Structure 1
């Protein structure tokens, strides 16, 4: 099992989870990052992947990326500060589905300028675990 990722943010185990759920990071996305559990739904995987961007956990992002679309490496920009996540809609992606989509808007500040990423992400199950397949950017 991996250790809790080093963070340039204040996302300690007891801090509020960056994904926006009303739990501590350790009890919410931190347990997925550590490998203590797998995300039970596509939305929870999306939230945990957002939190991984916040805490700069590239290993988790790569582990949860579908093998057919996963890059060989991921270089996260420590100058990009993620500031919030809005889940706009979900389709399927429950414990009873094999596929699901999550539409979200992730807010960030880069070089002092606020911006956001609007995407519809597709998720599929691989060996019983949710995996990020790909996403379609929808502009800011």
Structure 2
């Protein structure tokens, strides 16, 4: 079975080891891997994993039950990663994505730029910016890729995905 996160990898080799951490001992090694595994957790209604990977400073009064219910009450239609970046400090990361899901009969498109922080060696979802500003084609790509020490333009990098 292919992974729910649409990585085109088998679920057992992609998100499953992170979702079953008590069996595998594996933590998501990057913000992108955490983002993908959190999407899979929503699809599967795994509120425990979602809460465990949410930064305690920003999770507020969310409960595992609420997250499980939200995941199971939606039909998840797809995840599209726009870009991902780990900051030079190695502690902060960003993943911009679009996700489509059906809830109460209507299709919702969520476009978010999510922020992650590494705490005690594990990546945690901190918060996100819904509908982030558009990136101009000639602006430097937010993923941070350079060519000959010059930032690549967005149109020649992540916009091609």
Q: Paired residues, what number?
A: 124
> In 2, are the aligned partners of 1:120 and 1:138 still within 8 Å (CA)?
yes
Counterpart residue number, 2:9: 23
Render the CA deviation track for 1:58-82: whole Å, top value 9, x for unaligned: 0000110111112341413222111
Contact 1:16-1:22 at 8 Å conserved across structures: yes
Of residues 32, 42, 51, the one that matches 1:43 is: 32
How far, CA to CA, are the matches of 2:30 and 2:87 in structure 1? Answer: 6
Q: Which ranges of structure 1 fall in alignment gaps of 5 or more residues?
A: 1-14
Moved more, 18-27 or 70-79: 70-79
Residue 90 of structure 2 is aligned to residue 97 of structure 1: yes
More helix by share: 2
Larger of the two Rg values belongs to structure: 2
Instruction: Give the TM-score normalised by the residue count of structure 2.
Output: 0.72
Give the superposition deviation at 1:93.
Answer: 5.8
| Structure 1 position 112, deviation (Å) | 2.4
1:26 aligned counterpart, secondary structure: helix
Change (3 A) 1:118 1:40: same
Task: With the length of structure 1 as denominator, give the TM-score of the two structures.
Answer: 0.82
Runs (4+) of structure 1 exceeding 4 A deviation are none
Give the number of the structure with larger relative contact order, counting CA–CA contacts within 8 Å between residues 6 or more apart: 1
Match of 1:120 among 110, 113, 116: 113
Gaps of 5+ in 2: 133-161
Q: Which residue of 2 aligns with 1:4?
A: none
Rounded Cα–Cα distance in structure 1 between residues aligned with 2:59 and 2:92: 17
1:138 paired with 2:131, answer: yes
Aligned to 2:74: 80
* Secondary structure of the structure 2 residue equivalent to 1:105: strand
